[in-house]
Structure 1
């Protein structure tokens, strides 16, 4: 299995502990970005992962590339442009939500053009291509390049997955709906949650209250059916189901719709969230791995949800877990006892 992802990777800066940004006098640093996070998950699961992006020719970008290689990811990085994007995160606790501030204007990835990519080299041996709505939203240039890469993947018979990942600070619902609909004919597997489906496609599950943390799982079947009707190329639709009790406690599950059937995972009560950033990406990485490995739909959604559940216990964007650890959670549950 060889998985290609394309998107922006940023420098992540976070105050130590649970300090607010307004209190910070120093920061912990690491790297993260939706598609890069997925690539790391795939590599951690022992499969080949390639990450496509563009970064400036400086020491910070060098460190980022080395970090990707250290996780087992093969970077396909075009060098050039002005800078690498940065995001600052303030971790929430209890009733105080986490907060993210972006500083990504003029990032190098926005200047990447198809002419800078050797597609034969990029797609050599690739079985699966993954992207998110974030890359589509960050700039017109990134959207154009993404469109070409997605079309090329489809032309070459590569399975394509998309995580809608709607970000209201990047574009409006109307813009997202227009642009993402143009990309859907290339997509085989769509990943989303209820809020993103509502914002991008105007679809909402019956009986759910997003703000109140109430989810009606049965309502997702109707959403999935409407997506399949509008976009016939999509064979599978997966949703993450998050019941947000507080910034520190969530109930977490998922559902996969395939061949007209819905497969619901078990629900995990996450009572002490260490870091939820990258939770959706770890779900996507787990689902891609499971489906590409030939797992049955029920086993695939269980694996994806368990992988994402574990990510909530890990600092940083990247899900530092193995296939064995995920499968152990699926099989035995999470007692938290010391593994000897």
Structure 2
């Protein structure tokens, strides 16, 4: 299976342990970004994962490329140019203090890229799937156009398209998001959302659910999935369900709606004690894409994706460093966490 993902790869700077920004005197350095995280997950499962972006030709840009190559991601379609790699600062939350993310990504190489930088006909040669998120078009009108060009080229080749809505209020307004994502979602086959994104982007919300109190109403989310599918003609809609009790302790599950069979499948719920939650949704997306391309049933696919993302919450950094057997083991019911000897 060959999967193409498109987005921004950023430097991630983070205080050590659970220090606050204002008390830290040194920062951990790594790389991450929504679609890159998905590509790494897929490469770890043995898929041919192709990541597309634009990065400077200097040493930091090369370090970003190398961070993907070490896990087997195909970086041959990355365009080189521009002057800077975007940065995000991440402060890990603890107990009742939530995590904080600060962006410094204006005028990055991808943010200043043009649609003509990307040869989508060449990029999609032999591809089975294309994935992007709502973060990429949020970088500017030029990226909305680039995403649409990619979607059109994918459709022309019969490539399946998935999109994680991933609304980021620090990057654009709800009105901007709604206009752009309404334009792009007409091409999408599989939509991935969470408790907040469907409401923030399209004004669709689950009834009788309080995400801050950790209360989940299954019927409400079935309604959200159906409304999304009816609006855009999606083949499948996945919704991740996070019951947030504290920064450390979450309930984690998901629902996958298959339109053709009118089947709503809910996964088992995992009670997580979180090491790091950044990239949790991306690891779900990577798991879901792999499961669907592998021919798993609707129920099997959502169980695999949730198991993959549950494991990601135990791993530092953006990338999900888990193997296919580890995900299959957890999805199969072994969540004991016992030592492997």
- SS of 1:338's equivalent in the other structure is coil
Q: Deviations over 1:179-221 (max 9, x none)?
A: 1010111100000012100011111111101222211122111
Instruction: Note if 1:92 corresponds to 2:93.
Output: yes
Q: Deviations over 1:301-324 (max 9, x none)?
A: 000000000000000000000110
Instruction: Note if 1:17 corresponds to 2:17.
Output: yes
Counterpart position of 1:337 = 338
Counterpart position of 2:135 = 134
Displacement of 1:25 after TM fit?
Answer: 0.8
Separation in 2, partners of 1:295, 1:10 = 33
CA distance 1:53–1:237, shift in 2 (3 Å): same
Separation in 2, partners of 1:183, 1:332 = 37
Separation in 1, partners of 2:238, 2:121 = 30
Separation in 1, partners of 2:172, 2:114 = 21
Unmatched 5+ residue regions in structure 1? none
- SS of 1:51's equivalent in the other structure is strand
Q: Deviations over 1:283-304 (max 9, x none)?
A: 0000000001110000000000
Asked if the contact 2:195–2:242 (Cα under 8 Å) also holds between the matched residues in 1, the reply is no
TM-score, scaled to structure 1: 0.98
Stretches of 4+ moved more than 4 A in 1? none
Q: Deviations over 1:258-299 (max 9, x none)?
A: 0311000000001x2100000000000000000011100000
Aligned pairs for 1:78-227 (under 5 A) are 78-227=79-228
TM-score, scaled to structure 2: 0.97
Counterpart position of 2:270 = 268
Asked if the contact 2:163–2:191 (Cα under 8 Å) also holds between the matched residues in 1, the reply is yes
Separation in 2, partners of 1:65, 1:244 = 34
Displacement of 1:332 after TM fit?
Answer: 2.9
Displacement of 1:114 after TM fit?
Answer: 3.0
Separation in 1, partners of 2:289, 2:316 = 22
Separation in 1, partners of 2:333, 2:167 = 34
Displacement of 1:147 after TM fit?
Answer: 1.1
- SS of 2:11's equivalent in the other structure is strand
Displacement of 1:159 after TM fit?
Answer: 0.1
Counterpart position of 1:53 = 53
- SS of 2:320's equivalent in the other structure is coil
Aligned pairs for 1:237-248 (under 5 A) are 237-248=237-248
Asked if the contact 2:129–2:161 (Cα under 8 Å) also holds between the matched residues in 1, the reply is yes
Asked if the contact 2:115–2:143 (Cα under 8 Å) also holds between the matched residues in 1, the reply is no
- SS of 2:192's equivalent in the other structure is strand
Counterpart position of 1:30 = 30
Separation in 2, partners of 1:332, 1:188 = 30
- SS of 1:68's equivalent in the other structure is helix
- SS of 1:290's equivalent in the other structure is helix
Q: Deviations over 1:65-109 (max 9, x none)?
A: 111110110112111112100011110110111111110010100
Asked if the contact 2:37–2:319 (Cα under 8 Å) also holds between the matched residues in 1, the reply is yes
Separation in 1, partners of 2:162, 2:85 = 26
Separation in 1, partners of 2:118, 2:145 = 13
Asked if the contact 2:190–2:235 (Cα under 8 Å) also holds between the matched residues in 1, the reply is yes
Displacement of 1:333 after TM fit?
Answer: 2.8
Q: Deviations over 1:98-147 (max 9, x none)?
A: 11111001010022223222333211111000000000111111111111
- SS of 1:253's equivalent in the other structure is strand
Unmatched 5+ residue regions in structure 2? none
- SS of 1:321's equivalent in the other structure is coil
Counterpart position of 2:250 = 250
Q: Deviations over 1:34-62 (max 9, x none)?
A: 00000000000011000000011110111
Counterpart position of 2:43 = 43
